[in-house]
Chains A and B, each alone.
Chain A
Amino acid sequence: MARRVYSEPGDRIVSTAPVAVNRYRGWTRLNHWITAASLILLALSGFALFHPSLYWLTGLFGGGQTTRWIHPFIGIVLVASFVLLFLQLVKYNIMRREDLVWARRFRDVVSGHEDRLPELGKYNLGQKFIFWGMFWLILVLIVTGIMVWEQYFGGLVTIPTRRVAILVHSISAVLILLVFIIHVFAAIWTRGTLSAMTTGNVSGGWAWRHHRKWLRELAGRQKVDPAE
């Protein structure tokens, strides 16, 4: 059976009539939603302390003190769950030559002329951008976050460093929310994508259209009845 290059262990064609392809296994989906929920809770609690007009959001967490206390712990949960996602998917998010063409012909992506683009593996450049954007921003956020975590790391860095850390933390938080908005938007805009993270499956047509190299590899790995 052909070696896997573009697909993860577990990615497989689950039905042929009509074609349905499993893109994410159950625990990957569960982990993804833990990351997602953490990010949303971090955004809400972070927003509350970011701008006075949003301070009322502390009410969702049971007041200002609890919001201040819980925010970093949710951050730890997010990092733990994201590390697993990262290790699992980093291999499929390495830049390839076809990504450059994809970037150059981005207009064709937006106007729906993907037939003019090279065939892609499990991820396109946009998805890789989300992946690496999340990676670097989460890294910066956790490092600067620990620097300003008063309760446990109050004396870790000097006050001038702490000022820079909190500024960088705020800017990174804004950037990660922009990445998050693009991620959600792209998942909805590209119809047929969301089911990959709910049921775990996408349609054959979706895979053909957007990730044909990935589909081709999976098609070639189907169990063929030896009698045929």
Chain B
Amino acid sequence: MTTNIQDSPRTALSNPPVQPGQSNLGQPAVRRSSAGGPVAEQPTPLTEVAKLIDVSKCIGCKACQSACIEWNDTHPEIETNVGVYENPHDLTPEMFTLMRFAEYDNPDNGNFEWLIRKDGCMHCEEPGCLKACPAPGAIVQYTNGIVDFIHENCIGCGYCVSGCPFDIPRISQKTHVAYKCTLCSDRVAVGQGPACAKACPTHAIVFGTKEDMKIHAAARIEDLKSRGYENAGLYDPPGVGGTHVMYVLHHADKPGIYNDLPEDPQISPVVEGWKGPTKTVGLAAIGLAAVGSVVMGLFSRSAVADEDEHQAQEMVDRAAAGLPVDPIPGREQV
């Protein structure tokens, strides 16, 4: 028997349903689609979800990476150890999430801190990738906030790479389509939490409704503050309308120290200009020029007169006869 998955995102902590379920994501839940792709007329109303990553609890074990590889059945290349902890060295088309390690010399208290951040798609409320994408329906956003790449519509142009404020999407040289974290949309659709959250041994990664995650984060921040991290806070950047992956940072005033987490991420004004005025004004200009020239061409022309032919004939004949063909005085040069 199948269970109808209610609109109740479960945290990775609670026991998810084990019965086969009906997916609640898919076309009926699409509220936004790239390049004017199809959106549901009345999208299924779902509660906004979020993944919360508490970097203060992370021990850098990379269980989340392993779980991600396993669930998504990707095969990251085995690389060479160059003396850093990151493995692989960057996000790749086969590695959707990556532990980034930073060694931070805290100038305020002289402490040496090891900052570990799980990098990956932030699932922006206002996704730059979706804005930049030229292929209809290749990037969608569901009503629960998850931003998903629909690979069969992707053309591999890399515009999403330019659009993303977090440097997340990667284009595969094998399949020529873009990849990134899906927030395990295929698991969330049937009431499961993301694989990384499921695997995290310290519960540094938790998943649930965005409201619940904010409440959970507030308690964590209070705890951190009581332990001396007075700048502890939630990273839910308003420049992109908030995100569906949030961080609890012990130094929320300095996100940059966590391997260049952007201070105030937003869709670049260059991308906005490209996808805004350039697109519409450019097309209008070309359209007007084309129509204008056709209209002008219908009403006017420059034609060669018989007199011109006659003059040319005379000049050529004179020259052929060895006579001079000097220009009309005053018109030769200016």
* Chain A residues within CB distance 8 Å of chain B: 13, 16-19, 48-53, 55, 58, 63-65, 67-69, 97-98, 100-101, 110, 112, 118-119, 148, 150-151, 154, 159-160, 162-164, 166-167, 170-171, 173-174, 177-178, 181-182, 184-185, 188-192, 203-209, 212-213, 215-216, 219-220, 222, 224, 228
CB of B325 within 8 A of CB of A150, answer no
**Residue with the highest number of chain A CB atoms closer than 10 Å, among B301, B312, B315, B321:** B312
Cα–Cα, bound, A219→B306 (Å): 19
CB contact under 8 A between A220 and B319, given known A50-B279, A53-B36, A97-B334? yes
10 A–B pairs (Cβ distance < 8 Å), ordered by A: A16-B313, A65-B156, A118-B331, A150-B161, A151-B156, A177-B286, A185-B293, A216-B315, A219-B315, A220-B325
CB contact under 8 A between A67 and B155, given known A52-B134, A181-B289? yes
CB of B304 within 8 A of CB of A206, answer yes
Across the interface, name the chain A residue whose C-beta is closest to B284: A174
CB of B162 within 8 A of CB of A204, answer no
CB of B173 within 8 A of CB of A151, answer yes
Of A52, A181, A207, the residue contacting B136 (CB under 8 A) is A52
CB of B327 within 8 A of CB of A216, answer yes
B156 CB, min distance to chain A CBs, angstroms: 6
Residues of B contacting A185 in the complex (Cβ-Cβ under 8 angstroms):
293, 296-297
**Residue with the highest number of chain B CB atoms closer than 10 Å, among A18, A206, A208:** A208
Residues of B contacting A205 in the complex (Cβ-Cβ under 8 angstroms):
304-312
Of B135, B162, B308, the residue contacting A166 (CB under 8 A) is B162
Across the interface, name the chain A residue whose C-beta is closest to B279: A51
CB of A118 within 8 A of CB of B333, answer yes
CB contact under 8 A between A215 and B312, given known A185-B297, A189-B296, A222-B319? yes
Interface of A is mostly: helix
Interface of B is mostly: helix
Of B290, B297, B303, B310, the residue contacting A192 (CB under 8 A) is B303
CB of B306 within 8 A of CB of A181, answer no
Cα–Cα, bound, A63→B157 (Å): 13
Residues of A contacting B290 in the complex (Cβ-Cβ under 8 angstroms):
181
CB contact under 8 A between A112 and B320, given known A151-B176, A181-B290, A185-B297? no
CB contact under 8 A between A170 and B278, given known A112-B302, A118-B333, A154-B158? yes
Cα–Cα, bound, A141→B110 (Å): 52
Residues of B contacting A215 in the complex (Cβ-Cβ under 8 angstroms):
312, 315-316
Residues of B contacting A63 in the complex (Cβ-Cβ under 8 angstroms):
155
Sample of 11 further A-B pairs with CB below 8 A, known A205-B305, A219-B320: A55-B136, A63-B155, A65-B155, A97-B334, A118-B332, A151-B156, A203-B309, A213-B332, A215-B312, A216-B325, A220-B325
Across the interface, name the chain A residue whose C-beta is closest to B161: A159
- The 9 A-B residue pairs whose C-beta atoms are closest, nearest first, are A204-B312, A150-B158, A205-B309, A205-B308, A64-B155, A219-B319, A174-B282, A208-B312, A185-B293
How many B residues are at the interface, by size bracket? 35 or more
CB of A190 within 8 A of CB of B327, answer no
Residues of B contacting A151 in the complex (Cβ-Cβ under 8 angstroms):
156, 171, 173, 176
B231 within 8 A of A: no
CB contact under 8 A between A150 and B136, given known A159-B162, A205-B312, A209-B305? no
Bitwise, B266-300 to A at CB < 8 A (1) or not (0) is: 00101101100011001101100110010011001
Cα–Cα, bound, A167→B268 (Å): 11
A12 CB, min distance to chain B CBs, angstroms: 11
CB of A181 within 8 A of CB of B301, answer no
Of B161, B173, B300, B316, the residue contacting A219 (CB under 8 A) is B316
**Residue with the highest number of chain B CB atoms closer than 10 Å, among A18, A64, A207, A215:** A64
B132 CB, min distance to chain A CBs, angstroms: 8
Residues of B contacting A174 in the complex (Cβ-Cβ under 8 angstroms):
278, 282-283, 285-286
CB contact under 8 A between A19 and B313, given known A65-B155, A150-B156? yes
